[in-house]
Structure 1
Amino acid sequence: MKIVKLPISLLFTLIFGLSFLFSCTENEETIIQETEETEETPVTLNNEVNEFVWAGLNEIYLWQQDVPDLADDKFTTYDEYYTFLNGYNTPESLFDAMLYQIDVVDRFSYIVDDYVALENSFQGTSNSNGLDFQLVRLSDSDDVFGYVRYVANNSDAATKNINRGEFFLTVDGQQITVNNYIDLLFGSNNTYTLGMADITNSTIALNGKTVELTKTEFTENPILVNKVIETNGVKIGYLMYNGFVSNFDNDLNNAFADLKSQGINELVLDLRYNPGGSVRSAINLSGMITGQFNGGIFSTEKWNNKYQAYLEATDPEYLINRFTDKLADNTPINSLKLNKVYILTTEGSASASELVINCLRPYIDVVQIGTVTTGKYTASITLYDSPDYGRKDANPNHKYAIQPLVLKSANKNGVTDYYNGLTPDYLITYQTGSGAIAEGEDLLNLGTLGDENEVFLAKAISLITGSTSKLIDGKTKPGIDIKIIADTKDFTPLGKGMYKNLDKAIK
């Protein structure tokens, strides 16, 4: 018999940028024994993408050691290996089958068949009309309606007569339902017409208004609102930040320079619609809020058993992310040096948003206002079908890439594993027409983002100044009982993700 070793991944070198050559012992490789040639016809691989999927997950998936089918010694011959891979008709089905307790523990690893679209999403670019909305339904009805959360600046939607707090019930004249909303709103139709609606006495009906929207390749600036509110002698900075997009780190730094120049005393950071993104951007933002902890531990990382053991033995510093006073291009960070920050959250606040909250808490007073966050304490990287899983020399036969979770983050005090999200210090609730108490945003009283009487912001201002706004005082009409179906962020390639770019992960 002869021993045939699969090619050793160059991923360690690619990610960690080590200055010495990396060598493995045999127990650090996946070894396949191939029997001597026989007269039997060897098994052939039906889909080369399947091999890439399995090998990539075996290499670096966070829970590799917990999935028996990803074990290094799972196969002894190529016939066994290919027979196993051929048992899955699509790369997607194989990928899902290899995940650890999918949708329970691992809710966020994913596979794409177009890595160009994925790369664009990391830069804030997607096929979009700029309308951010959430889809909900009343009671147990299959009928779905949407409400506008915000309109992205400089987008197609920004040129149309549609605003935050408006409702829509149909798309191209067709009622939205739980069965068709994906095709109607997130399908191949780049142009569609929304049928707008009003809600009266917990009943929604069309109001005759229509809005035509067109999707194009659009890059959304995640800084939606940046302003200063002066009240009761206090200057309060308000920043609504909707995505951790590294391409806009300089814009974010400039926004903090503006707040700093106006001499703000307090900061309200609105992350209620922020699904996450770049770890580096999260570190930069935290440095802008503070600035007095440069070089201190921001977060620590835990990888799969193979990588963790290797890093602890050879480069333990790599497992630590530290506060910095410079952006990636060495631009000095504009720091406010605050000892307290007010952060607004909802169930849509995920990943890097949660990372900022969790990792600032050991250092300053973080006052969280709103509802419980998503509960994502893990980060992923992009793997391509190439010898070292990098973008260069990617297989030209397809555009598949996988985005597996590869690490979990903990703050300076070791706090991690917040499966159920981060609980706010001040829960935002409202009373519905049925008398029930609901959590989160009241669709009938959304208010204007950045306005001091908008409910979430008003609560922060009341805590800062000790005053009470008329909305905080509860003098609003009753809300409605709803069930959330999905939102716009769920249908971007990144989704509610936190990631480390390979080229930016090198220290």
Structure 2
Amino acid sequence: MGFHKSGKTKIALALSVMALAACGGSSNSGTNLVTDPGTSDAPTWVAGTFEAASKFKDYCATPRTGTDPYNNNAPYPDKSGSELHEKMWLRSYSDNTYLWYSEIEDNDPNNFNIVDYFKQLKTTQTTDSGAKKDNFHGSQNTADYNKRTQSGVTSGYGINWQFNALVPPRDLIVRYTEPNSPADLAGLKRGSQILEIDGVDFVNGNNVDVIDAGLFPEQVSESHSFKLLEPDGTIITKTFTSADVVSSPVQNTKVIETEIGKVGYLQFNSHIGLAQEGLIDAISQFSDENVSEVVVDLRYNGGGLLAMASQFAYMVAGDNATKNRTFENTIFNNKYTSTNPITGNSLSPTPFYDKKIDYVSYQFTSEDLPSIDLQRIFVLTTGSTCSASEAFMNGLRGIDIDVIQIGTSTCGKPYGFYPQDNCGDTYFTIQFKGVNAKGFGEYSDGFEPKESPQFASQIKGCSVADDYSKALGDPEEGMFSAALEYMKSESCPVVTLSRASKSLDEVQKASNEDGLAIQAPNQILNSIILENKILHRREIK
């Protein structure tokens, strides 16, 4: 069904059995509860034969006890089972819902542990460029996932890192810090590089255990010493103490005066619920100050809520351009051409949402979103620009809003999934593909900026490397300055930078060739899945 403008319209929760609700207290929160402790019949694997996933759901080798603070303190659904139950659920669930289910090899689950079995439940085919078709398959502890996605909280120093090399000589650069985080309060600058951690040589050292412990503290209140090289060549030593850090997904909103008029800028890092107010405030400011152009910095935004991407696209394009238009259509595997395999609902287009959403209750409010009615938008991108960020770009292109891309190619994820909890782990397996109003969604190798585009996945704009010598939002920073120049001349300036970030594929390939690699590959993938690439799908009834 289409979107009806009503404050009572509710967004259907489509995140499996997990209800993303506000945390609340409960008188029985300390009790030791296990739902239905009975054991299911022992499963048997038969190649090519798939039983219903529901037969194995929530039968766990180690059932959780107590209640779920992220589901109104309801008892966990776990029942006593085995590792084979968990693997058989993964197998049936993947065969039913995975976008490329026919490309999964049906290997005997008895030959794998749970983690390794899930890892291979995906296609091994590649895109036209030779890249992996599915680079977004993963899992995460459910409690950690809920903490991040529902409260915007992560444990650490509040540093967003750029991993350029995980093996000697290692190269790790600060992208940005979260406001009021331990790193921000310590004055850590964008572009700083690690030289030592807790006295251990980070660049060429062999003590990867110390390096990993310092980079990824397991608990809050851990203190670790870092020697860093700042962008100006100064070497400094700082001690960071880990803490629970609240994300600020919208930062550096500003309006600057230029030769062609006022230009708005905002740094948009993640499509999580906390971003909605920041986006509304930014668009309201741009409208009040009558900006003529807007630059959206998506270079580190790997996605999140598709509903928010639709809202933001509406705020950019306005009512006239989006009324009764489709933001995105969803395509599942060929078993489900008219219904959603997860929710059972009939498939219908995602429109451009023009109302504020209560992301706790998943209801539309009666509050209209502001808009600035632009005919074109500038986006700053890198290989970390992904998922809902790409959907934002693609959705606007589908209604002929001119998108100007400045930076490097995006990650290439026209796909999404419904995060699904089972036995304390949340699994992310590609289940659908998104296409815009023109039916285009073939950008699995990313959107590429080109002065003279020749293919549909190439977008008019300029190829510019990430510039770590300047702060994000500085008009002299490489990408931002290129966007400002393009506004004046409609051509790409010559930008010379001292360094450029490497792609995730390059980093992973190098790390797999050396036993001294720090454990960041899994950390990176989990971070992308958790913080960026989760396409929290909501359907409007």
Instruction: Report TM bin, short chain.
Output: 0.7 to 0.9
| Alpha-carbon offset, residue 468 of structure 1 | 10
For 1:115-158, what per-residue CA distance to the aligned partner results, in whole angstroms no more than 9, with x for missing partners? 021122224321131112213249xx712132221121121211
For 1:164-196, what per-residue CA distance to the aligned partner results, in whole angstroms no more than 9, with x for missing partners? 122221111112258735444125364322111
Match of 1:185 in 2: 215
**Contact 1:346–1:373, Cα closer than 8 Å, also in 2:** yes
Query: After alignment, is 490-499 or 213-222 more displaced?
Result: 490-499
**Contact 2:254–2:266, Cα closer than 8 Å, also in 1:** yes
Separation in 2, partners of 1:355, 1:468: 25
Q: 1:481 to 1:425 in 2, by over 3 A?
A: closer
Instruction: Give unmatched runs, 5+ long, in structure 2.
Output: 1-11, 17-48, 54-80, 126-130, 358-363, 453-462, 508-519
Match of 2:333 among 304, 314, 331: 304
Query: After alignment, is 160-169 or 315-324 more displaced?
Result: 315-324
1:500 partnered with 2:530? no
Separation in 2, partners of 1:421, 1:358: 11
Match of 1:128 among 141, 148, 156: 156
| Alpha-carbon offset, residue 56 of structure 1 | 2.4
Instruction: Give unmatched runs, 5+ long, in structure 1.
Output: 1-12, 18-27, 33-43, 71-83, 386-397, 428-437
1:373 partnered with 2:392? no
Q: 1:442 to 1:65 in 2, by over 3 A?
A: same
**Contact 1:147–1:166, Cα closer than 8 Å, also in 2:** yes
1:401 partnered with 2:426? yes
Match of 1:338 in 2: 374
Match of 1:154 in 2: 180
Separation in 2, partners of 1:31, 1:491: 28
1:383 partnered with 2:420? yes
3-state SS in 1 of match to 2:120: helix
Match of 1:361 among 397, 404, 416: 397
3-state SS in 2 of match to 1:170: strand
**Contact 1:16–1:318, Cα closer than 8 Å, also in 2:** no
Match of 1:479 in 2: 498
| Alpha-carbon offset, residue 424 of structure 1 | 1.0
Query: After alignment, is 114-123 or 340-349 more displaced?
Result: 114-123
Separation in 1, partners of 2:88, 2:189: 47
**Contact 1:378–1:498, Cα closer than 8 Å, also in 2:** no
Correspondence 1:106-505 to 2 at 5 A = 106-112=134-140, 114-123=141-150, 124-137=152-165, 142-177=168-203, 180=208, 182-188=212-218, 190-197=222-229, 208-291=235-318, 292=320, 293-310=322-339, 318-328=347-357, 329-330=364-365, 331-362=367-398, 363-385=400-422, 398-425=423-450, 440-443=465-468, 446-466=469-489, 479-480=498-499, 483=502, 485=507, 490-492=525-527, 494-501=530-537, 504-505=538-539
Q: Determine which structure has more spread, i.e. the larger CA radius of gyration.
A: 1
3-state SS in 2 of match to 1:373: coil
Give the percent of matched residue pairs that are identical in Structure 1 and Structure 2.
25
Match of 1:73 in 2: none
3-state SS in 1 of match to 2:380: strand
**Contact 1:246–1:280, Cα closer than 8 Å, also in 2:** no
| Alpha-carbon offset, residue 442 of structure 1 | 4.2
The AA in structure 2 aligned to 1:382 is: P
The AA in structure 1 aligned to 2:110 is: N
| Alpha-carbon offset, residue 343 of structure 1 | 0.6
Match of 1:101 in 2: 124
For 1:336-371, what per-residue CA distance to the aligned partner results, in whole angstroms no more than 9, with x for missing partners? 111010111111111111111112113211010111
Q: What TM-score results when the alignment is normalised by the length of structure 1?
A: 0.75
The AA in structure 1 aligned to 2:289 is: Q
For these two proteins, the number of residue pairs brought into alignment is 422
3-state SS in 2 of match to 1:98: coil
**Contact 2:377–2:404, Cα closer than 8 Å, also in 1:** yes
The AA in structure 2 aligned to 1:404 is: T
Separation in 1, partners of 2:339, 2:120: 27
**Contact 1:144–1:169, Cα closer than 8 Å, also in 2:** no
Separation in 1, partners of 2:491, 2:349: 42
Q: 1:236 to 1:481 in 2, by over 3 A?
A: closer
Q: 1:144 to 1:462 in 2, by over 3 A?
A: same
| Alpha-carbon offset, residue 286 of structure 1 | 0.5
Match of 1:61 in 2: 98
3-state SS in 1 of match to 2:337: helix
Separation in 2, partners of 1:454, 1:245: 26
3-state SS in 2 of match to 1:415: coil
Separation in 2, partners of 1:237, 1:198: 29
The AA in structure 2 aligned to 1:197 is: L
**Contact 1:294–1:324, Cα closer than 8 Å, also in 2:** no
3-state SS in 2 of match to 1:148: strand
**Contact 2:465–2:501, Cα closer than 8 Å, also in 1:** no
**Contact 1:369–1:456, Cα closer than 8 Å, also in 2:** yes
Q: What TM-score results when the alignment is normalised by the length of structure 2?
A: 0.70
The AA in structure 1 aligned to 2:146 is: E
Q: 1:48 to 1:176 in 2, by over 3 A?
A: farther
Match of 1:392 in 2: none
3-state SS in 2 of match to 1:448: coil
For 1:8-59, what per-residue CA distance to the aligned partner results, in whole angstroms no more than 9, with x for missing partners? xxxxx97499xxxxxxxxxx99479xxxxxxxxxxx9544322332232233
The AA in structure 2 aligned to 1:405 is: I
Separation in 2, partners of 1:465, 1:297: 32
Separation in 1, partners of 2:438, 2:97: 26
| Alpha-carbon offset, residue 289 of structure 1 | 0.5
For 1:370-393, what per-residue CA distance to the aligned partner results, in whole angstroms no more than 9, with x for missing partners? 1111111101111123xxxxxxxx
Separation in 1, partners of 2:490, 2:441: 35
For 1:449-470, what per-residue CA distance to the aligned partner results, in whole angstroms no more than 9, with x for missing partners? 222111111111112234999x
**Contact 2:338–2:347, Cα closer than 8 Å, also in 1:** no
For 1:472-503, what per-residue CA distance to the aligned partner results, in whole angstroms no more than 9, with x for missing partners? 565x6x624775637986452515413224xx
Q: 1:361 to 1:172 in 2, by over 3 A?
A: same
The AA in structure 1 aligned to 2:350 is: N
Root mean square deviation of aligned Cα? 3.4
Correspondence 1:29-48 to 2 at 5 A = 30=51, 45-48=82-85
3-state SS in 2 of match to 1:308: coil
